[in-house]
Structure 1
Amino acid sequence: MKVEHTPIADLLVLTPAVFEDDRGYFFESYSATAFAKNGIDIQFIQDNQSFSKHGVIRGLHLQAAPYAQTKLVRVLQGEILDVAVDIRKDSPTYGQHYSIVLSAANKKQLLVPKGFAHGFSVLSETAVVSYKVDEAYHKESERGIRYDDPALGIDWQVQISDAIVSEKDVILGTLNDLD
């Protein structure tokens, strides 16, 4: 597993070692041993999966402490623009975001630690996204930031006028509204 550090501390891009032959390919999508060897100590408790159409924007989502979640995001089918926003008030990169194209083809994963809001847009016709979390969903701790918060200036790489966004996500506040 190759571990790449992003410009935002603790936000990591993970690329598995892929073994290909005439039958296809094999890779370890998650290995506690490989994580430990790279100094990553996270105990995932749940896997989630979503299916979305082109132009869908999901997010930006988070859960407040003590139910904050670390996420390990990957794409099983299609291609997304995955986005993480640093919401750690004491961080020198507070309010900054990082985006990366994750796809079934590149097999990259984004490790989004606690203290980040997370979302993605679907760049391909459809996409299946899978992500591990280290805390269970807790409705009362659910928070979010509007995908089009002007203070963040995220380029979702989809036509915003045609974006498909849930009613719940459209009414989210801005980064400045987070408690």
Structure 2
Amino acid sequence: MTNSPTPDKSISKPSGNSQQADHPLLTLLVRGAVLGVGAIAGIVTGLAIAFLRPDLVWQPSFNFLNYKKQQFTLSSEALFDVDKASIRPESFRLLDEVAAQLPLDKGKRVRINGHVDAATGNALTLSYLRASAVRDYLARLRGEQNYYWMVIGYGTTRPLASSAGEGNSKSNRRIEIFVDD
């Protein structure tokens, strides 16, 4: 038998940059710099696209902040007799003008709020019946199915002014019409 030299079984270090293993802080700094340069390149590219082709950039819609597109406030004295919920015939022209200004788009929400002052007996019922009468009239003109109609009778719960004088009480007797998207 021949004697052959035995292979060296010593463990060698993996090839590569041994400085990384020896200096973890240096490794962290190099990787952070590479990531930072990549982030800056991404931001610069995004800004360049935004300036050169703004149509490609998503633009948020802030329509929800201004949800009240149209508002009409009508004096109850212009529409109704005292303590009555039926519309006076001479007031139809005023409601015809409001109906003409309602949007043509189907599916809009039309909210009609009724308000009365403290001098009224059953305030909640009267305010609701008045708002319902206005809704019924407008729905006949513009179509029941064209809008989502909502009627609310607030009674005396949301006054515009204190009821100290007659002039202040008049401003509290009103019908509000809101057209929302």
**TM-score normalised by L of structure 2:** 0.27
Query: Larger % of helix: which?
Result: 2
Query: Larger % of strand: which?
Result: 1
* Higher Cα radius of gyration: 2
